[in-house]
Amino acid sequence: MEATAVSTKAQERNAIRTWLDQNRRGLSAFVIFMGLWILFLITAPGTFTNPQAYRAIFTTLPIDIILAVSLVFIVTSGESDLSFPSVFGLSSYAFALLVSNEVSPVLGLLAALLVGAACGLVNGLLVTKVGLSSLVATLGMNFFLRGLINVLTQGIGIPLTMMIDTPFYNVLVGQVGDVPVAVLWALLVVIICLVLFNRHRLGTHIAIVGDNPESAKEMGIDVARTKILAYVIVGLCAAFAGVMSSLINSTWWPTAGDGYLLRTLAAVFIGGTPTWGGVGTVIGAVFGAMSVGFIETGLIGAGLTAFWTQFAYGLVIILSLIGHRFNQGRYR
């Protein structure tokens, strides 16, 4: 009897330890976010006890979150993608161009998703079939697609003010009471990505391919196909985020997406997904994006000028990487 009780207890302790081991990256991202938040609550109580501040954060946060969680897939596969800002721009251009020519916005959204998926496919083919370094290939794609946008539009934006208060607009970026609908869409994307990453064959294969491509191949996993699909996920999410962002701004700008490159990458790494592939965390990326989103508002609330923003990003990135490093050192 006693022995059973002891072993059950040991098993329980074991289960807890395993759970912590599996989720420690996401957990440490959560700790980093909470730390930041508490810091801001102390230094800028006026701002962070005011619901208005959160409303401001929550208008842009969904975009950050959707981009960050999609990047977890490609980084975990052992590759990188620096082209998503231009994919964001090009696919939302397709949307803006179509709806400004009175095409149904639903078709416009589908067209944007198609453009995003196609860009992901090209990225994936360049990396897996042509064998280019993903860092350089997607850097090239980022320039190339942005250049394409500039050539096509001659630098002129497209106003989307006619979309305001249409049913499509309200469903995608309207408000439900006090909650921006975009937050709910981001939540949906996060849930889909969580299931895909943790429970689906594709997410498992992505992690295995990023961990040990040799053994993945040995066991019959199609390494190229798996990586291409990871790029397509990034393309689709960039397109969706691009459409959403253009609607929120009521204008499509030729620079759409430009500002997201570094802050999204920062969100992924603050979120606890390491650079070497094989492991990643979707939920961590959500906390990473929230940390990044809170920094800007927090600094201004604390009475610092916007000049401090980059300084603070840099500090948080380095400190959080040090934190993740120590957290993982115990296990590796």
Partner 1 sequence: MATPFIELKHVYKSYGSVNALSDVNLTIEEGRVLGLIGDNGAGKSTLIKLIAGVHSPDSGEMWVKGKKVTHWSVAEARAAGIETVFQDRALAEQQSIARNIFMGRELTNAIGLIDVKRQREEAERLMREIGFTSKVFSPDSRVLTLSGGERQGVAIARAIYFKAQLVILDEPTTALSLTESEKVFAFVRQLRARGAASIFISHNIYHSYDVSDYFAILDRGRIVYTADKSEVPSADVLIRKLQTVARHGMLDIEH
Tell which one of 4, 220, 307, 330 touches partner 1 (CB under 8 A).
Answer: 220
User: Among 174-182, 206-214, 260-268, 312-320, which window interacts with partner 1 (CB under 8 A)?
Assistant: 206-214
Tell which one of 9, 55, 129, 199 touches partner 1 (CB under 8 A).
Answer: 199
Q: Is 216 in the site for partner 1 (CB under 8 A)?
A: yes
CA count, 13 A, side-chain hemisphere, 74:
33
Distance between CA atoms of 274 and 44, rounded to whole angstroms? 31
User: Among 18-26, 99-107, 172-180, 243-251, which window interacts with partner 1 (CB under 8 A)?
Assistant: 18-26
Q: Are β-strands 175-176 and 179-180 bridged in parallel, bridged antiparallel, or unpaired? A: antiparallel
Q: Is 7 in the site for partner 1 (CB under 8 A)?
A: yes
Q: Is 195 in the site for partner 1 (CB under 8 A)?
A: yes
Please name the residue that has the structure tokens 């701004």.
Answer: 249
User: Interaction with partner 1 in 227-286: which residues (CB under 8 A)?
Assistant: 278-279
Output 11 or 133, the one with its CB closest to partner 1.
Answer: 11
Please name the residue that has the structure tokens 């934190």.
Answer: 323
Q: Is 207 in the site for partner 1 (CB under 8 A)?
A: yes
Tell which one of 148, 183, 221, 261 touches partner 1 (CB under 8 A).
Answer: 221
Q: Is 332 in the site for partner 1 (CB under 8 A)?
A: yes
Tokens of 72: 């977890």
Q: Is 10 in the site for partner 1 (CB under 8 A)?
A: yes
Q: Helix (H, G, I), strand (E, B), or coil: what is residue 160?
A: coil
Instruction: With CB under 8 A as the rule, give the number of residues binding partner 1.
Output: 30
Length of the chain, please?
Answer: 332
The closest of 159, 24, 25, 141 to 101, measured between CA atoms, is 159
Q: Residue 273 in contact with residue 279, Cβ under 8 Å? A: yes
Kind and range of the H or E run holding 252 = strand 251-252
CA 163, chain centre distance (Å): 26
Q: Site residues (CB under 8 A) for partner 1? A: 7, 10-11, 14-15, 18, 21-22, 195, 199-202, 204-205, 207-208, 211-212, 214-216, 218-221, 278-279, 331-332
